[in-house]
A = this chain, B = another copy of it.
């Protein structure tokens, strides 16, 4: 039995809003009142409220007491924090995967998709790229780690969506680096994989920060040793 997945109305609305924000359809700073959401999706206000709360949890919306929620505006500091936290998590994941020389077929599959996108828009590379990284984390089999990473994924995706279409990404070289990381993991070289990932993620981070007009990170937080 295919074990089907039911989504509640609230989840469906939250998913749609999430997608619209990530597509850039709703620009940063846009106000989203509960009543707005309720009317556009033709549901009651409490339903819209619940959807809003999900997105606030995800970090895609920000809201104060009795104030309408607005689409988050990510500054250079946020981008740095997101990417550093992300690197921390993935680094440890790679080290543990390497200790058992775990192969991650799902990650290889996602990477193949990236390599196949020879001339796709930079938008198309975001989804498989996130799949690649989440596949690595999921391979650990730790529900809590997966949960924590998932809370970062939406923010990372939002970062990438902000600079999409500026030709900053070269999917061929991305795919090469990904493949190399996987090879190092299966070879048991956790430190090597972690270092390469640090470089990989760190480069993406600085690219994003520059694109957002921030000053290039003064502190090199690359390999700790």
- Which residues of A approach B to under 8 Å, CB–CB? 6, 8, 46, 57, 65, 81-82, 84-85, 88-89, 91-92, 95-96, 99, 142-145, 147-148, 151-152, 155, 190-191, 221, 224-225
Which residues does chain B contribute within 8 Å of A221, judged by CB atoms? 96
Q: A6-B65, A92-B88 are in contact. Are A143 and B81 (CB under 8 A)?
A: yes
Bound complex: CA of A139 vs CA of B65, how far in Å?
27
Tell me, rounded to whole Å, the shortest Cβ–Cβ distance linking A222 to chain B.
Answer: 11
Which residues does chain B contribute within 8 Å of A8, judged by CB atoms? 65
CB of A85 within 8 A of CB of B152, answer no
Contacts A8-B65, A148-B152, A151-B151 known; list 8 others, CB within 8 Å.
Answer: A81-B143, A85-B144, A85-B145, A85-B148, A95-B224, A99-B224, A144-B155, A190-B224
Which residues does chain B contribute within 8 Å of A145, judged by CB atoms? 81, 85, 88
